[in-house]
Structure 1
């Protein structure tokens, strides 16, 4: 099973051309599950719905109730901002929640009705800026609670997102629960899929090689993730490999300011 996480950079830059570049990358990558952040919708269209129709996938949308800060940056008060899930299989029990400590950040959850398992699937977009670690800690605490509240006997949870935090940060250590004592949901381990990558690949998803990032003041970083619950009793969901996608322009257009993370997870034998 192929899982992708990608921040789509909302309606910034040449977003009308970028949407087609995003579609091309997704079509070539052919994920089974997508967790998407910075997804737009307007009165006429939803980017997630359009992508789902183009790719033949199911979809769910989780708008924030606090889109004003994003609208102010583009001068368009008609566009909504949120997270989205795309799935090869139907989605059930869809729920969106505003995350604490910073307005405009959401977590979207659903249960994927795959033929071999019911998969708890999440995507989230955490507070940005280098000084927002305390806010992100509160946010990952809540995400862990939500993941623990949606157990499955047949598949570990899959958590995707732009967490705006590097792997050694307090908030990512707290989210994982394997490198420090978790503040919520003890016993839940959410492994970083990138730990199964080539050790020489830093997996920089916010990369100054991308001209949209080169204009920003931050260095290159790994801030986007696929996280998978650790289950010793299941073959399904074990990480086989991981890589980046969307790392080059498409027909001269960079799809986003972030690169996507793509993880291959084991399916049970048939």
Structure 2
């Protein structure tokens, strides 16, 4: 028998990844929506959650609140799109940002500014290193421009995210992008990312007619004609990874949709890294 030491890391692991634009503390009924978000997260039992339009107060963040449900670790960076509206009593001191919740330790985070020419404050992408038992992962959580008149910024931001994926992949570890890209796979803004990463929705057999920003939600932003009734929220990987299943959650909780976006879920297979 050989005298080598057995590698304790699992050869194959299935992890549940979720991305969700959770509509900050916007109306309607933000407190009721928080209960719905926690309920759906509890039902999904995810390993990794990327949150866009994530709130933060002086005391805590929405990422921390979700981590209490999953039993994981949390990270938050500001700022994010859309711009925070003028403060009122219900939103005093609340910030808009990007959140990450992970079952495994988050060993490093960085806020990467995305390019802007029209807005005063650039949105950021959250880049994180995660210590998974199969080997380290690089995660990127982001939200991009959506206004049609700012389409040049929208394209520049998805191009920057594509470059970021390529840069992170040079370390030889899997990279995942969890993002509200405000574009579906057929739109020009998605093209730079399609060149460098794989869509877990397609690999996991997600429904071809699925939409993540649905006009069926009573408070859906119908004015967002470029995004409405499209699958604009995505989980992308580099390299292309096996995906056992991809689906979304399009149900209300106690009569209230938790957000105007539906969460996207992918059960991704990780192989042990050399």
Q: Does 1:78 pair with 2:93? A: yes
What is the aligned counterpart of 2:167 among 145, 149, 160? 149
What is the aligned counterpart of 1:262 among 248, 260, 265? 265
Distance 1:97 1:269, change over 3 A: closer
What is the aligned counterpart of 1:32 among 24, 47, 63? 47
Counterpart in 2 of 1:60? 75
The CA RMSD measured in Å over matched residues stands at 2.4
Q: Does 1:134 pair with 2:152? A: yes
Q: Does 1:18 pair with 2:33? A: yes
Q: Where do 1:1-270 residues align within 5 Å?
A: 1-13=15-27, 14-64=29-79, 69-72=83-86, 76-101=91-116, 102=119, 103-151=121-169, 155-177=173-195, 189-198=196-205, 200-213=207-220, 216=223, 218=225, 219-231=228-240, 237-245=241-249, 247-268=250-271
Local SS of the residue matching 2:164: helix
- Structure 1, 68-77 or 165-174: larger mean CA deviation: 68-77
- Provide the TM-score with structure 2 as the length reference: 0.84
Alpha-carbon distance, 1:35 to partner: 0.8
What are structure 2's unaligned runs of at least 5 residues?
Answer: 1-14
Q: What per-residue deviation string (whole Å, max 9, x for no partner) do you get for residues 20-49 of structure 1?
A: 110110110111111110000111221111
- Provide the TM-score with structure 1 as the length reference: 0.85
Distance 1:254 1:239, change over 3 A: same
In structure 1, how many angstroms separate the alpha carbons of the residues matched to 2:96 and 2:272? 39
Distance 1:31 1:67, change over 3 A: closer
Alpha-carbon distance, 1:169 to partner: 1.5
* Bigger Rg, structure 1 or 2: 2
Alpha-carbon distance, 1:200 to partner: 4.9
In structure 1, how many angstroms separate the alpha carbons of the residues matched to 2:132 and 2:197? 21
Alpha-carbon distance, 1:269 to partner: 6.9
Distance 1:258 1:104, change over 3 A: farther
